[in-house]
A and B are shown apart, each in its own frame.
Chain A
Amino acid sequence: MSQTTSSTYGSSPRPGETTWLWLIKIVTGPLLLVLLILHLTVNHYLGSSSSGLMTYDDIIRYFQNPIIPAIEILFLITVVTHSLIGLRGIVLDMNPSRRVLSAVTWLLSLLGVASVIYGIWLALTIASIGA
Protein backbone atom coordinates (compact mmCIF):
# COMPACT_ATOMS: atom_id res chain seq x y z
CA MET A 1 0.00 0.00 0.00
CA SER A 2 2.65 2.47 1.08
CA GLN A 3 4.79 1.50 -1.92
CA THR A 4 1.96 2.21 -4.33
CA THR A 5 1.40 5.57 -2.68
CA SER A 6 5.04 6.58 -2.85
CA SER A 7 5.51 5.51 -6.46
CA THR A 8 2.36 7.34 -7.53
CA TYR A 9 2.82 10.57 -5.61
CA GLY A 10 6.59 10.92 -5.26
CA SER A 11 8.60 10.30 -2.15
CA SER A 12 7.12 10.70 1.32
CA PRO A 13 8.31 9.87 4.82
CA ARG A 14 8.61 6.10 5.12
CA PRO A 15 7.06 4.35 8.13
CA GLY A 16 9.30 5.13 11.12
CA GLU A 17 10.78 8.24 9.52
CA THR A 18 9.42 11.47 10.92
CA THR A 19 8.32 14.20 8.54
CA TRP A 20 11.16 16.33 9.88
CA LEU A 21 13.84 13.80 9.01
CA TRP A 22 12.31 13.30 5.57
CA LEU A 23 12.14 17.05 5.00
CA ILE A 24 15.76 17.57 6.10
CA LYS A 25 16.85 14.82 3.67
CA ILE A 26 14.84 16.35 0.83
CA VAL A 27 16.10 19.89 1.49
CA THR A 28 19.76 18.98 2.07
CA GLY A 29 19.80 17.04 -1.23
CA PRO A 30 19.62 20.03 -3.62
CA LEU A 31 21.81 22.08 -1.24
CA LEU A 32 24.42 19.34 -1.46
CA LEU A 33 24.37 19.45 -5.26
CA VAL A 34 25.25 23.15 -5.12
CA LEU A 35 27.92 22.65 -2.43
CA LEU A 36 29.38 19.63 -4.22
CA ILE A 37 29.71 21.48 -7.52
CA LEU A 38 31.38 24.35 -5.64
CA HIS A 39 33.65 21.94 -3.73
CA LEU A 40 34.73 20.09 -6.88
CA THR A 41 35.17 23.24 -8.97
CA VAL A 42 37.47 24.97 -6.49
CA ASN A 43 39.35 21.79 -5.64
CA HIS A 44 40.04 20.92 -9.24
CA TYR A 45 40.34 24.28 -10.97
CA LEU A 46 42.27 26.37 -8.43
CA GLY A 47 45.81 25.69 -7.32
CA SER A 48 49.29 25.49 -8.73
CA SER A 49 48.74 22.66 -11.21
CA SER A 50 46.14 22.20 -13.93
CA SER A 51 44.56 19.42 -11.85
CA GLY A 52 43.70 21.83 -9.04
CA LEU A 53 44.60 21.73 -5.35
CA MET A 54 46.94 18.79 -5.62
CA THR A 55 49.53 19.53 -2.94
CA TYR A 56 49.63 20.13 0.78
CA ASP A 57 50.90 23.70 0.23
CA ASP A 58 48.01 24.44 -2.17
CA ILE A 59 45.46 23.39 0.44
CA ILE A 60 47.10 25.28 3.30
CA ARG A 61 47.14 28.43 1.17
CA TYR A 62 43.55 27.87 0.04
CA PHE A 63 42.34 27.61 3.65
CA GLN A 64 43.77 31.04 4.50
CA ASN A 65 40.62 32.67 3.17
CA PRO A 66 38.18 32.33 6.13
CA ILE A 67 35.23 31.78 3.82
CA ILE A 68 36.75 28.45 2.69
CA PRO A 69 36.72 26.61 6.06
CA ALA A 70 33.24 28.08 6.61
CA ILE A 71 31.93 26.61 3.33
CA GLU A 72 33.74 23.31 3.89
CA ILE A 73 32.22 23.02 7.39
CA LEU A 74 28.74 23.80 6.02
CA PHE A 75 29.31 21.16 3.33
CA LEU A 76 30.48 18.67 5.97
CA ILE A 77 27.44 19.17 8.21
CA THR A 78 25.03 18.97 5.25
CA VAL A 79 26.58 15.86 3.71
CA VAL A 80 26.92 13.98 7.01
CA THR A 81 23.30 14.79 7.94
CA HIS A 82 21.96 13.78 4.53
CA SER A 83 23.95 10.56 4.35
CA LEU A 84 23.15 9.39 7.88
CA ILE A 85 19.41 10.11 7.58
CA GLY A 86 19.59 8.21 4.27
CA LEU A 87 21.42 5.34 5.94
CA ARG A 88 18.72 5.22 8.63
CA GLY A 89 16.14 5.07 5.82
CA ILE A 90 17.94 2.06 4.37
CA VAL A 91 17.86 0.39 7.79
CA LEU A 92 14.11 1.13 7.89
CA ASP A 93 13.73 -0.86 4.66
CA MET A 94 14.67 -3.92 6.69
CA ASN A 95 11.82 -3.29 9.14
CA PRO A 96 13.88 -3.27 12.32
CA SER A 97 12.24 -3.74 15.69
CA ARG A 98 11.69 -0.61 17.79
CA ARG A 99 14.71 -1.43 19.94
CA VAL A 100 17.03 -1.99 16.99
CA LEU A 101 15.83 1.19 15.29
CA SER A 102 16.38 3.19 18.46
CA ALA A 103 19.92 1.77 18.80
CA VAL A 104 20.64 2.55 15.14
CA THR A 105 19.33 6.10 15.55
CA TRP A 106 21.61 6.65 18.56
CA LEU A 107 24.60 5.11 16.84
CA LEU A 108 24.15 7.18 13.68
CA SER A 109 23.59 10.37 15.69
CA LEU A 110 26.79 9.69 17.61
CA LEU A 111 28.68 8.99 14.39
CA GLY A 112 27.30 12.19 12.86
CA VAL A 113 28.24 14.38 15.82
CA ALA A 114 31.70 12.80 16.06
CA SER A 115 32.31 13.26 12.32
CA VAL A 116 31.27 16.88 12.41
CA ILE A 117 33.44 17.63 15.47
CA TYR A 118 36.39 15.87 13.81
CA GLY A 119 35.82 17.72 10.52
CA ILE A 120 35.58 21.12 12.22
CA TRP A 121 38.76 20.37 14.18
CA LEU A 122 40.51 19.35 10.94
CA ALA A 123 39.34 22.43 8.99
CA LEU A 124 40.43 24.77 11.81
CA THR A 125 43.76 22.94 12.18
CA ILE A 126 44.47 23.30 8.46
CA ALA A 127 43.48 26.97 8.58
CA SER A 128 45.73 27.59 11.59
CA ILE A 129 48.80 25.93 10.02
CA GLY A 130 49.18 28.69 7.45
CA ALA A 131 48.25 31.52 9.80
Chain B
Amino acid sequence: MHNTRNQPSARRFLSWFNPIGRQTGSWAFILNRITALGLTLYLFLHLIILGRLAQGPHAYDSFLLLTENPFIKLGELAVVAAAILHGLNGIRIVLTSFGVGVTRQKQLFYGFMAIAAVTILFFATRMYMG
Protein backbone atom coordinates (compact mmCIF):
# COMPACT_ATOMS: atom_id res chain seq x y z
CA MET B 1 0.00 0.00 0.00
CA HIS B 2 2.74 2.35 1.05
CA ASN B 3 4.80 1.51 -2.05
CA THR B 4 1.88 2.05 -4.39
CA ARG B 5 1.27 5.46 -2.88
CA ASN B 6 4.86 6.48 -3.53
CA GLN B 7 4.84 5.62 -7.21
CA PRO B 8 4.90 8.63 -9.53
CA SER B 9 1.35 8.87 -10.74
CA ALA B 10 -0.89 11.39 -12.43
CA ARG B 11 -3.80 9.20 -11.33
CA ARG B 12 -3.53 10.56 -7.79
CA PHE B 13 -4.03 14.03 -9.23
CA LEU B 14 -7.03 12.92 -11.30
CA SER B 15 -8.50 11.13 -8.30
CA TRP B 16 -9.24 14.51 -6.71
CA PHE B 17 -12.10 14.80 -9.14
CA ASN B 18 -13.64 11.50 -8.09
CA PRO B 19 -16.55 12.36 -5.77
CA ILE B 20 -17.21 8.81 -4.55
CA GLY B 21 -16.67 7.99 -0.86
CA ARG B 22 -15.38 11.39 0.18
CA GLN B 23 -15.19 12.72 3.71
CA THR B 24 -15.31 16.37 4.71
CA GLY B 25 -11.52 16.68 4.99
CA SER B 26 -11.18 15.30 1.52
CA TRP B 27 -13.61 17.86 0.10
CA ALA B 28 -11.69 20.62 1.87
CA PHE B 29 -8.47 19.33 0.31
CA ILE B 30 -9.95 19.18 -3.19
CA LEU B 31 -11.55 22.61 -2.83
CA ASN B 32 -8.21 24.09 -1.78
CA ARG B 33 -6.32 22.54 -4.70
CA ILE B 34 -8.86 23.42 -7.39
CA THR B 35 -9.22 27.03 -6.22
CA ALA B 36 -5.40 27.22 -6.00
CA LEU B 37 -5.03 26.20 -9.64
CA GLY B 38 -7.74 28.64 -10.74
CA LEU B 39 -6.25 31.52 -8.76
CA THR B 40 -2.73 30.83 -10.04
CA LEU B 41 -4.01 30.87 -13.61
CA TYR B 42 -5.84 34.13 -12.91
CA LEU B 43 -2.76 35.68 -11.27
CA PHE B 44 -0.64 35.23 -14.40
CA LEU B 45 -3.42 36.34 -16.75
CA HIS B 46 -3.90 39.41 -14.54
CA LEU B 47 -0.18 40.25 -14.70
CA ILE B 48 -0.08 39.83 -18.48
CA ILE B 49 -3.19 41.96 -19.02
CA LEU B 50 -1.94 44.72 -16.71
CA GLY B 51 0.98 45.00 -19.14
CA ARG B 52 -1.45 46.99 -21.31
CA LEU B 53 -1.00 49.84 -18.86
CA ALA B 54 2.50 50.31 -20.27
CA GLN B 55 1.03 50.60 -23.79
CA GLY B 56 -1.02 53.69 -23.11
CA PRO B 57 -4.58 54.75 -22.28
CA HIS B 58 -6.27 53.32 -25.36
CA ALA B 59 -4.82 49.82 -24.94
CA TYR B 60 -5.97 49.67 -21.31
CA ASP B 61 -9.33 51.43 -21.42
CA SER B 62 -10.51 49.53 -24.49
CA PHE B 63 -9.71 46.29 -22.71
CA LEU B 64 -11.59 47.36 -19.58
CA LEU B 65 -14.77 47.75 -21.63
CA LEU B 66 -14.83 43.94 -21.65
CA THR B 67 -15.65 43.97 -17.95
CA GLU B 68 -19.17 45.08 -18.88
CA ASN B 69 -19.69 41.74 -20.62
CA PRO B 70 -21.87 39.50 -18.38
CA PHE B 71 -19.71 36.43 -19.09
CA ILE B 72 -16.56 38.27 -18.07
CA LYS B 73 -18.42 39.41 -14.93
CA LEU B 74 -19.25 35.79 -14.20
CA GLY B 75 -15.55 34.96 -14.58
CA GLU B 76 -14.68 37.78 -12.17
CA LEU B 77 -17.21 36.48 -9.69
CA ALA B 78 -15.64 33.01 -10.01
CA VAL B 79 -12.24 34.53 -9.17
CA VAL B 80 -13.69 36.37 -6.16
CA ALA B 81 -15.44 33.18 -5.01
CA ALA B 82 -12.26 31.12 -5.44
CA ALA B 83 -10.24 33.68 -3.45
CA ILE B 84 -12.80 33.71 -0.61
CA LEU B 85 -13.06 29.90 -0.48
CA HIS B 86 -9.27 29.45 -0.66
CA GLY B 87 -8.62 32.21 1.88
CA LEU B 88 -11.11 31.02 4.48
CA ASN B 89 -10.18 27.36 4.03
CA GLY B 90 -6.57 28.55 4.34
CA ILE B 91 -7.28 30.19 7.71
CA ARG B 92 -8.52 26.81 8.94
CA ILE B 93 -5.29 25.18 7.72
CA VAL B 94 -3.14 27.85 9.41
CA LEU B 95 -5.10 27.52 12.68
CA THR B 96 -4.84 23.75 12.77
CA SER B 97 -1.17 23.86 11.71
CA PHE B 98 -0.45 25.78 14.88
CA GLY B 99 -2.58 23.47 17.00
CA VAL B 100 -5.75 25.57 17.18
CA GLY B 101 -9.08 23.78 16.72
CA VAL B 102 -7.42 20.54 15.65
CA THR B 103 -10.21 18.39 17.09
CA ARG B 104 -12.87 20.68 15.61
CA GLN B 105 -11.67 20.73 11.99
CA LYS B 106 -15.02 19.71 10.54
CA GLN B 107 -16.90 22.42 12.43
CA LEU B 108 -14.24 24.96 11.47
CA PHE B 109 -14.57 23.97 7.83
CA TYR B 110 -18.38 24.22 7.83
CA GLY B 111 -18.24 27.52 9.72
CA PHE B 112 -15.76 29.09 7.30
CA MET B 113 -17.68 27.79 4.31
CA ALA B 114 -20.88 29.34 5.67
CA ILE B 115 -19.06 32.69 5.97
CA ALA B 116 -17.74 32.14 2.42
CA ALA B 117 -21.24 31.52 1.07
CA VAL B 118 -22.58 34.73 2.61
CA THR B 119 -19.56 36.75 1.39
CA ILE B 120 -19.81 35.38 -2.15
CA LEU B 121 -23.53 36.21 -2.19
CA PHE B 122 -22.72 39.75 -1.04
CA PHE B 123 -20.18 40.24 -3.85
CA ALA B 124 -22.51 38.68 -6.44
CA THR B 125 -25.29 41.08 -5.43
CA ARG B 126 -22.90 44.03 -5.58
CA MET B 127 -21.49 43.06 -8.97
CA TYR B 128 -24.82 42.42 -10.65
CA MET B 129 -27.09 44.89 -8.89
CA GLY B 130 -24.73 47.50 -7.40
Contact = CB atoms under 8 A, between A and B. Distances in A.
Nearest to A30: B94
Contact of B8 (A7, A54, A100): A100
Interface string A82-123: 011011001001111100100000000000000100110010
Of A1, A90, A100, A125, chain B has the most CB atoms within 10 Å of the CB of A90
Q: Is chain B's binding surface mostly helix, strand, loop or mixed?
A: helix
B107 interface: no
B111 interface: no
Interface string A21-57: 0000010011011001000000000000000001111
A77 interface: no
Interface residues of B, number: 40
Q: Is chain A's binding surface mostly helix, strand, loop or mixed?
A: helix
Interface of B: 2, 5-10, 12-13, 25, 33, 36-37, 39-40, 43-44, 47, 50-51, 53-54, 56-57, 60-61, 64, 83, 87, 90-91, 93-99, 102, 105
A-B residue pairs, 8 tightest by C-beta: A10-B96, A56-B57, A10-B97, A56-B60, A83-B40, A29-B90, A11-B97, A95-B8
Interface of A: 1, 7-12, 26, 29-30, 32-33, 36, 54-57, 59, 76, 79-80, 83-84, 86-87, 90, 93-97, 100, 115, 118-119, 122, 125-126
Given A10-B93, A56-B53, A115-B44, 9 more contacts: A55-B57, A56-B56, A87-B37, A94-B10, A95-B5, A97-B8, A118-B51, A125-B54, A126-B53
